[in-house]
Structure 1
Amino acid sequence: MARKVIVAAAAFAVLILSFLLPSGGCKFYPSRLSICDLCKPRCQDEGNDSGFCDARKNCICVDCSKHDRGKFISSSTFSVGGHRWCIRYYPDGDGLDSADRISIFLQHDDTDAVDAKARFRFSVLNEIGEPGPLPFIQNGQLNTFSAKNRCWGSNKFVERKALEESACLKDDALRVRCNVTVAKDIRCTEATEQFVVVPPSNMHRQFGRLLQAGEGADVTFEVAGEMFAAHRCVLAARSPVFMAELFGPMREKAMSYAAVSGSSSAIVAEAVTGSHVLKIEGYSRTKGIGNGEFIESSTFALGGHLWLIRYYPHGCGSDNAGWISFFLELEHSDATSVKASSKFCLLDEMGEPAPSHSRHSSVIRTFKASVPSWGYERFIEKKALEESTYLKDDCFRVRCDVTISKEFRAEDTARFVTVPPSDMHQHLARLLSSGAESDVTFRVGEETFAAHRVVLAARSPVFMAELFGPMKEKHKTSRPIQISDMEPGVFGAMLHFIYTDSLPEAAVDTGDASVSVMAQHVLVAADRYGLERLKLICEDKLCGYISTGTAATTLALAEQHGCRGLKEACFRFLRSPGNLKTIMGSDGFQHLTSSCPSLLSELLANVAP
């Protein structure tokens, strides 16, 4: 029997709202606020006669039509969790007691929708888009947005004087971010869990801290009487001018420019693109249903519409009895016709599409009430799937990519400058590969690796202690630093991550078995040198390689190196009938019992029915 879990689903979104404030000190002055008959009983029950509901939490209901409120400006609407929302901004507060404050509220903008339960957080952003020094408002409880109470928020969000004196107000404009989490249905569904969450790259913060601390600085600049300490190799990696000034002769680069006058425009075909991964657990058991019968996935939201995937284990018709069929279906009951294209692809263990089992049509289909679904009657032969490596432990995964066509329009191309994404990792990768001005060498086995002390120290607290801390005297000599208990390929992969925040392709594309082994060794190295993100990347990768042949050794590895997500993934695998019994006679299980004897009781407690 397939394992079921109770899932409380939620949709989450972040909206950044920019306000261009009216110049000349223009103000909105609110009228007198009185308590209406609708709100008075609830306010009095809470010991509050002010007319503000739940005032102790700075959250109020402002949608009662009998309130004579302050004036507000509404944002554009946005969609979260299948509902429409907007933000109300009160420049001079929403009432007399908040006249010196800015009030802000989240409004449920679906007039005919059912009630929505949501929590929110408002924060003022600084110049770089991060929450500034001003206080933020976070509502931890779920609020019910209904026809009577459509708005919740803060009538005392920020003091206007504090805002005007802060750096968050620049060029007479401020930005407010609203994080919204909408609670959806609670349902029983197949368990598909994400055991490890890999955080985004923080390389820029680590180098920022190195610059601020000045540790290991080896060059100083004087600018208008002020001194700035920096690191030669970082400057050279990021700037060709600094490379020439600090490590070589200045080299002029010839550049030619052509001046062209005129105007331009563009035809814009707007589209929303997203994907949904469907995991079929217990494939052999789904074969019990007949030809033409299907199993539906959970619904997912994309482009303001709800969708689901239909899975036909024995084909969608008598002509396709030896095949597996997949269809994308529009589930929005009151939606007009939707134009979209879809692509279905079988995923390998790494989560990458299998080119030989991908079905894509460039034709834009119209999904409507009379024709709600489109798909592929012959996605893959059952025999081909069952003989392939994509079916593992009676499971396989399919990804559906959906592109929803929006409106077509003509517009002037008014964007004159395109800022490219950060290329710091490419700069540092070239610095590593070139070996230019390296100042430390490592000996691993029979191989030697050249690197830069400040880069290693910025990325690893262990290297910081070894190269610039109490242990630095030990490594001041020009002789290579000997690294024991590590393979050269593992150290090279770790060094590549330190400079680029990613693993080299060779570490992930060398075959199924070797990928798992490499990930295990790199995880141990990451734990040794305090590279937490690299450790989580390896942990997440190993979650996809758990089998009866690897579960015991993987569980021992997770226990020894504090990998909670990987440990839970192993427990989840061993709860399946027969898996624990299969591994108990293996050498890996003997290693587990000898290396982690305390883990046995926890294992039995987690896998017991």
Structure 2
Amino acid sequence: MALTPDDDEEASMEIRDASPADYLLKIDNFSILLESGIEKHESNEFECGGYKWKLILYPKGCNKRNGDDHISLYLTLAEPGSLAAGFEINAVFSFFIYNQISDNYLTVRGHGLVVGRIRRFHLTKTEWGMSKFISHKTLEDPSRGYLVDDTCVFGVEVFVIKNKGIGERLSMLKISETSTLTREWKISRFSQIYESWTSEVFTEGGYKWCISLYPKGCGGEKNQSISIFLCLVSSEEFAPDQKVKPQFSIFIKDQKTGAEHHKQSSRWFSASTKSWGWSEFMSLTELNAQSAGFTFNDCCIIKLELSVQCVLRGTFT
């Protein structure tokens, strides 16, 4: 079976039971059509993807260089004049021919259309198709089942690609362009903080941040652990799809030995995710142990290291 799309690519074929979803063209007395001298037949209009289309069949082919031993099949815009200048429609389509013996359809696509090869329809290119869809020899072979009682059935499916034109802009920062902020806070009278403590606001990477600390824990870690979080103060100014991703480490210093208990993370912050950290940063038993110096002389020293890695500046159209 010779099948060649109009741009001389190869074709891919498969058999399926389901009929074409968009349009069927049934031709009775096909031999009379061949003898009539009619060069082409345009189907009625059908709508798909919000646009009107037609299926065009050339009984003896549309390319005289190929001779008249093939049928050509094309998909065309029914109302191309309604398109604005510069406007285009992107679509993927498949042609069909019905096998009346096996009661299934041979599906034919231009090479690559199986994986989504897109065709552009516009004012200067309103038709796409196959100049050698099927040879008359194949069509008229009784054993093939495509022409039975001088009747044959063709079909088409069209999938219109709706381009929303939405994207996102991700800015990765070079290591040479980033800085690491290091801040340290000495919190006196630590045992007298009843609920929470919040640092002053500071700026890094062009964004405002602060640290929130819960000496006796929060959530499920209440009275079990000390909870510490990095908070993005600038989130109030963020668009819903804007994000910033820092790498940060938070430390609690052992003032007796100079050792540090710390945790590290790298997370996206946004208008909906304003803080990130650990509700179980350190158990209260370890924090308040007499042998350790994490709360020496009722004082706790917190340190932060922070660098902004990348920024998602939001979507664009």
TM over 0.5: no
Q: TM-score with structure 2 length normalisation?
A: 0.38
Determine which structure has the larger strand proportion and give its number.
2
Indicate the structure (1 or 2) with the bigger Cα radius of gyration: 2
